[in-house]
């Protein structure tokens, strides 16, 4: 990204032009990589510094005094008072969710069943934005997906999840003849809360009707057709945000980028 700045004379480019270059050129340099990688926060911070310096000063470095608005406000969508520059941390997470979506919808891909770059926060975002319809249980993870009326078994019974000797299996295998119960370690320090949780989970999962001749399905909540797009996953992370009146006032006083 820094190399891209070399032939640009940013100080002789208008603020509107610098904003366009940040969105269309600088940001695009990292998109290919963040689909397959989970970059460290320090790397994204370094990228933000390059974008911020070029936007406000037309150079590769700048001071906070030249920044008119904090970077979080700049990265908001225009309808929330920002410039619509991508928040790279949020968009990287949105792109990584494609791996989880393909694990459900594209089983023919060679990497399905192997490791992917998604972390626990990515999985939480994915499952909070989707609805699982259980069929034969061959696709849905038993512990980590919200297949029990929108809840994860690991959230219903966290102590039992910790005591389980097998945490990575599908619903069908776990439910077959109560296999998940046989993998619970009977610890010496079990309490009444352990007993309450295992009974609660047993009652909840046995009430779920499985259909042997129907595949599990997943529906994305934020689109009308129920399919996942990265744009929708990005905006899902902004739900509940409100337009900042302070940001609007600053843009009104300094309008070239608007």
Q: What digits encode the pLDDT tens for the residues 200-209? A: 999 999 999 9
Same domain, 106 and 181: yes
Same domain, 245 and 217: no
User: Higher confidence at residue 161 or residue 247?
Assistant: 161
Which pLDDT does position 131 carry in this prediction? 93
Same domain, 153 and 228: yes
Instruction: Read off the tokens for 166.
Output: 């097998």
Same domain, 133 and 27: no
Same domain, 56 and 103: no
Q: Is pLDDT above 70 for 78?
A: yes
DSSP assignment string, the chain: -TGGGTT--GGGS-HHHHHHHIIIIITHHHHHHHHH----HHHHHHHHHHHHHHHHHSSS---GGG-SS-HHHHTS-GGGTS-----HHHHHHHHHHHHHHHHHH-TTSTTTTS--S--HHHHHHHHHTEEEE-SSSSSSBTTTS-TBTTB-HHHH-HHHHHHBS--S-BHHHHHGGGHHHHTB---TT--HHHHHHHHHHHHHHHTSPP-TTS--EEEETTSTT----HHHHHHHTTTT----HHHHHHHHHSGGG-
Q: Is pLDDT above 80 for 90?
A: yes
Q: Is pLDDT above 80 for 67?
A: no
Q: Is pLDDT above 60 for 93?
A: yes
Q: Is pLDDT above 80 for 52?
A: yes
What pTM, to 2 d.p., does this model score?
0.79
Same domain, 120 and 134: yes
Q: What digits encode the pLDDT tens for the residues 96-145? A: 999 999 988 888 888 887 888 888 899 999 999 999 999 999 989 999 99
Same domain, 88 and 101: no
Q: Is pLDDT above 70 for 37?
A: yes
Structural domain that includes position 47: 3-92+241-257
Please provide the average confidence, as pLDDT, over all residues in the chain: 86
pLDDT-based confidence at 61, cuts 50/70/90? confident
Q: What are phi and psi of 206, to 5 degrees?
A: -75, -15
Same domain, 149 and 253: no
- In the chain, how many domains are there? 2
Same domain, 157 and 71: no
* Nearest residue to 37 via CA among 99, 87, 85: 99
Same domain, 71 and 34: yes
Same domain, 104 and 181: yes
Same domain, 79 and 102: no
User: Higher confidence at residue 237 or residue 57?
Assistant: 237
All residues at 6 or more sequence positions from 205 whose CB lies less than 8 Å from its CB, including other chains: 148, 153, 175, 180
pLDDT-based confidence at 91, cuts 50/70/90? very high
Q: What digits encode the pLDDT tens for the residues 216-258? A: 999 999 999 999 999 999 999 998 887 766 555 555 545 555 5
Q: Is pLDDT above 80 for 187?
A: no
């Amino acid at each position: 990204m820094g190399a891209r700045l070399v032939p640009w004379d940013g100080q002789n480019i208008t603020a509107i032009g610098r904003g366009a270059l940040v969105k269309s050129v600088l940001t695009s340099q990292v998109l290919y990589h963040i689909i397959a990688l989970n970059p460290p926060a320090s790397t994204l911070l370094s990228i933000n510094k390059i974008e911020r310096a070029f936007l406000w000063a037309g150079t590769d470095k700048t001071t906070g005094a030249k920044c008119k608005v904090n970077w979080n406000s700049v990265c908001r969508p225009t309808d929330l008072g920002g410039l619509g520059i991508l928040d790279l941390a949020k968009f990287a997470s949105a792109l990584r969710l494609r791996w989880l979506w393909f694990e459900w919808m594209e089983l023919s891909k060679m990497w399905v069943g192997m490791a992917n770059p998604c972390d626990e926060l990515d999985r939480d975002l994915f499952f909070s934005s989707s609805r699982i319809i259980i069929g034969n249980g061959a696709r849905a993870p038993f512990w980590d997906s919200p297949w029990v009326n929108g809840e994860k078994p690991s959230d219903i019974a966290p102590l039992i999840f910790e005591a389980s000797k097998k945490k990575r299996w599908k619903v069908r295998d776990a439910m077959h003849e109560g296999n998940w119960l046989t993998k619970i370690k009977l610890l010496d320090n079990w309490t009444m809360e352990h007993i309450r949780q295992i009974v609660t989970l047993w009652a909840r999962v046995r009430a779920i009707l499985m259909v042997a001749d129907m595949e599990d399905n997943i529906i994305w909540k934020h689109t009308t057709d129920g399919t996942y797009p990265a744009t929708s996953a990005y905006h899902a992370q902004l739900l509940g945000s409100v337009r900042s009146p302070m940001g609007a006032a600053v843009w009104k006083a300094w309008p070239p980028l608007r």
